[in-house]
Structure 1
Amino acid sequence: MPSDKHRDTAAAILPLVGGPDNVTSIAHCMTRLRIGLRDRSLVDDAALRELPGVLGLVEDDTYQIVLGPGAVARVTPAFEALVAAARQDSPAAPAAAPAAPVTADGLAARGAALRADRKARNATPVKLALRRIANIFVPLIPALIGCGIIAGLNGLLANAGLLPTLVPALAAIASGFLSLIAVFVGYNTAKEFGGTPVLGGAVAAIIVFPGVAKIDAFGQHLTPGQGGVLGALAAALLAVCVEKWCRTWVPEALDNLVTPTVTVLTAGLATLFGLMFLAGEIAAAIGAFAGWLLHAGGALAGLVLGGLFLPLVMLGLHQALIPIHTTLIEQSGYTVLLPILAMAGAGQVGAALAVYCRLPRNRSLRTVIKSALPAGFLGVGEPLIYGVSLPLGRPFVTACAGGAAGGAFVGLFNQLGSVFGSTAIGPSGWALFPLLDGHSGMGTTAAIYAGGLAVGYLVGFAATWFFGFTDRMLADLNTDGGKDPATAPPANTPAMA
């Protein structure tokens, strides 16, 4: 149950987003409360930024309030309860409010909202598909994190020869979820695309059923789990299509009998005699490519991946990597990509520290940085991105340079044979240490990752110190009344649209 603090945060947010009648949808991911709005102009951005629990604001297809991991999972249900209670108290449609006076500022705000809305609509085809895929996998992240940490603890105990009677139990706890992750993916896929969730889960369960080993497809025996989450995703999507097709011709009196049967039978046969094999080949190719990329590309591959990840986070496209991470974890027990991508957060922290040191008189900005740095060290980058580096412009580029340097460091050691990764997805920064696993032992793996973080911090700091500000920016910002980057127009902002 949410604490008083989280209920107070939810209660403070509600009027600032236009009240319950302005809210059309409520959801959350790992760090953000995502709110659908009827009228964007009713939102008070400045007041929201001042709330103690709010770490940043992001505008996309939904209005996103960055609250941080843990907090968002507690504030969201409190916010939902407040909206539901307010609507219960006033079930009738509210009377139309008197028209507000038309002002230049109001027109400008509405025009900006319309332009942002049009821009979002123009980007819909690709971004919407990526968001829907993310909506399938994001709810699974807490279980992946918990099981990943337990798997790491179990590995330490097994290697040290401690508590031998507990090791098999921990192995079962850590592996149980991963052995059935296809079922959860199938369930969430059907739910996301408008089908019956349990039918998506039923079709995806075929993939992990041990009896599939007796079935021949494409001249070879199938293997339980073949195709993994990609096969489950495809199977559930097919099930949704079959189910919707059935609804168009099956009489209502027979719907409960015919539609589920035809859906499971048709999608199940297609899964066994096509999708499992094809998805298995794609999953194998993803694993082989990731291994080849770091083995052959090494430092160069790490530099590109680490340098480009912050722009992906800024655009919300980093969620598209979740199925790839999950596939790699299914195959080898860890994803080699996540420790490299986590270096982007290190570059961001280094850049923020340089901004803090370069602007000793700007109390407002230094306060923002001090409050956001703890989350940044733990891998939550949005407060620093949207509150500091991106509005300033040049420090965002220098933060990317720090991420590229850290990624190159980790990529180089992968190329030299110290291959390692994360047993779960979600955390980064210091929070990733308990999830590290690799071929070279925990000590070496942790040392390489720590070295990458240090390189990211140092290069991000140095690049921002020397190249993050023009003389004009320093003159404008390094004062007691310096511009707040969260509200001031950015200087030399890179084009990221």
Structure 2
Amino acid sequence: MSTETPASRGATPEPPKNRATAAAILPLVGGASNITSVAHCMTRLRLGVRDRSLVQDEALKALPAVMGVVEDETYQIVLGPGTVARVTPEFEQLVEEGRAAAPEPAADHGTAPEHALTADELAAQGAAIKAARKAKNQTPFKLFLRKIANIFVPLIPALIGCGIIAGLNGLLVNLGWLPSVTPALAAIASGFMALIAVFVGFNTAKEFGGTPILGGAVAAIIVYAGVANIEVFGQKLSPGQGGVLGALGAAVLASYIEKWCRKWVPESLDVLVTPTLTVLISGLVTIFGLMFVAGEVSTAIGDFANWLLASGGAGAGFVLGGLFLPLVMLGLHQALIPIHTTLIEQQGYTVLLPILAMAGAGQVGAAIAVFFRLRRNVSIRRTIKSALPAGFLGVGEPLIYGVSLPLGRPFITACVGGAFGGGFVGLFNMLGDSVGSTAIGPSGWALFPLLDGNKGLGATIAIYAGGLLVGYLVGFFATYFFGFSKQMLTEFNVDTEADSVPVAAGSPAQDRAKEPATVS
């Protein structure tokens, strides 16, 4: 019996799955020459494109690996956690290969065009003008929040990995198992958190236009054990005082000092003087000012979060869980990232994330209700069936952009489900059962391995699971009974085979679906 394969006979083997996905995406975004930047976050491939008109939205959405697309400051293709981290390097390699094979044309220096503009070229110019106007209208506050997100989002994989190891170690310690191994697990889980300030400083300087290693060097002062010998305002400093907030402030200061030095220091002395002054000046300000101030702010954040849930309880959880999806749509949720990180650094877990994760539960419940209400709409039901598994694991973009937001009212009832789920978890926090997460990023069922609290793992898991159940049920019933008007049912509960089109063409809901929104 022959074991010869096509590859062994000289045939070209099929490309690996992730490379095949990247290869399918590239021509649909205009090819390598149309790509100006490539990056990714937890779930999305984020692309800078030269000519927006070359991007084929519907064809991209039809790809099996693509959960949806979002247009914001960058063009974002939702691939899901895990997948995006594997597809991005393959995509970058294909872009580099494409540019090498077809070098970019020389820049136009103002010479007159050789031919009259076609309709397509005119449309492309219009799209470019629209994009420029959109960029001009970006508010400084939102741009600042994006910078903050760009600092912390790259740290999420390490937070998740170390958080899961910390949870496993805690379980083994409680059970009394493997006592010779648990100290090693504790070191692995804690090493990153002990030096997280350095990573924050590195990323901050990179984001604010400084030299990343100088930002990391200044931030390293915060975690240096020798600061315990320094007295500021009548108090001895402690290693780690100020945490990630202090590191962020120190690196921003270092970036501005470095830029000033580059402007005024002679080039012949730049290599010696600029890094020395940058580290010295920002280091002194960090030791004798920022560490103390940031330490007080960090302590206040932790105390306020604990007070809010201890006294506000169900009410605070209701508001936080109900407003999280709208915050995501406005891009304002990025302001919570340093707060989560500060709480994890201080207390070992953030009590806010499990409550905010209830918004995803409300979204899942609402989507299931839409599935039952629109029994004749094959297209929407197909979208829901394909997106629900990701929704249960905390990836909400496909359900948000493919179902609830285009329909309108189901998005509101999904928020109601999230509010009740958040209120449930908040109630138990008020009763003394803190439920927290040792990392940021995951939600839904994916958050279970990262849960931690003050009353044991069993109680923590039970409370979080109860909150999810409440979110599912309230989101479902609120949407089933109040998510559709008679007109909406007439419009959407129809037999259609339109692929991947969750709303009727030309409807107001479709227009709403086209509006850009931001989710990190």
Same fold (TM over 0.5): yes
* Structure 2 CA distance for partners of 1:213 and 1:66, relative to 1, 3 Å: same
2:7 matched to 1:27? no
Shift of 1:277: 0.3
Q: In structure 2, the residue corresponding to 1:474 is in which secondary structure?
A: helix
Q: Deviations over 1:316-367 (max 9, x none)?
A: 3322211100000011000000000000000000011011111112111111
Contact 1:386–1:486 under 8 Å retained in 2: no
2:480 to 465, 476, 479: 465
Q: Deviations over 1:450-492 (max 9, x none)?
A: 0000000001000110111111211221222277236744439
Q: In structure 1, the residue corresponding to 2:509 is in which secondary structure?
A: coil
1:308 corresponds in structure 2 to 323
Counterpart of 1:147, as a letter, is C
Shift of 1:117: 5.2
2:379 matched to 1:364? yes
2:396 corresponds in structure 1 to 381
Contact 1:60–1:120 under 8 Å retained in 2: no
- Report matched runs for 1:344-355 at 5 Å: 344-355=359-370
1:392 corresponds in structure 2 to 407
Q: In structure 2, the residue corresponding to 1:270 is in which secondary structure?
A: helix
Counterpart of 1:161, as a letter, is G
2:207 matched to 1:192? yes
2:29 to 17, 38, 41: 17
2:87 corresponds in structure 1 to 75
2:171 to 126, 149, 156: 156
Contact 2:201–2:247 under 8 Å retained in 1: yes
CA distance in 2, matches of 1:34, 1:475: 37
2:509 to 467, 491, 494: 491
Q: TM-score, normalised by structure 1?
A: 0.95
Contact 1:41–1:110 under 8 Å retained in 2: no
Bigger shift: 473-482 or 320-329?
473-482
The count of aligned residue pairs is: 494
- Report matched runs for 1:197-208 at 5 Å: 197-208=212-223
2:259 matched to 1:232? no
- Report matched runs for 1:17-416 at 5 Å: 17-93=29-105, 101-102=118-119, 115=130, 118-416=133-431
Shift of 1:124: 3.1
User: Where in structure 2 are there 5+ consecutive unaligned residues?
Assistant: 1-13, 108-112
Taking only aligned residues, the RMSD between alpha carbons, in angstroms, comes to 2.3
User: Where in structure 1 are there 5+ consecutive unaligned residues?
Assistant: none
2:10 corresponds in structure 1 to none
Shift of 1:116: 6.2
Shift of 1:102: 2.6
Bigger shift: 348-357 or 122-131?
122-131
Q: Deviations over 1:113-165 (max 9, x none)?
A: 75565345323311111111111110100000000001111111111111111
Shift of 1:94: 7.1
Bigger shift: 243-252 or 325-334?
243-252
* Structure 2 CA distance for partners of 1:130 and 1:3, relative to 1, 3 Å: farther
* Structure 2 CA distance for partners of 1:248 and 1:153, relative to 1, 3 Å: same
Contact 1:433–1:446 under 8 Å retained in 2: yes
Counterpart of 1:473, as a letter, is M
Q: TM-score, normalised by structure 2?
A: 0.91
* Structure 2 CA distance for partners of 1:279 and 1:9, relative to 1, 3 Å: same
Counterpart of 1:170, as a letter, is L
Identity in percent: 73
CA distance in 2, matches of 1:474, 1:354: 13
Counterpart of 2:119, as a letter, is V
Bigger shift: 209-218 or 483-492?
483-492
CA distance in 2, matches of 1:97, 1:420: 66
Q: Deviations over 1:378-436 (max 9, x none)?
A: 00111111111111111111111100010011011101111120011110000111111
Counterpart of 1:330, as a letter, is E
CA distance in 2, matches of 1:496, 1:398: 21
* Structure 2 CA distance for partners of 1:63 and 1:264, relative to 1, 3 Å: same
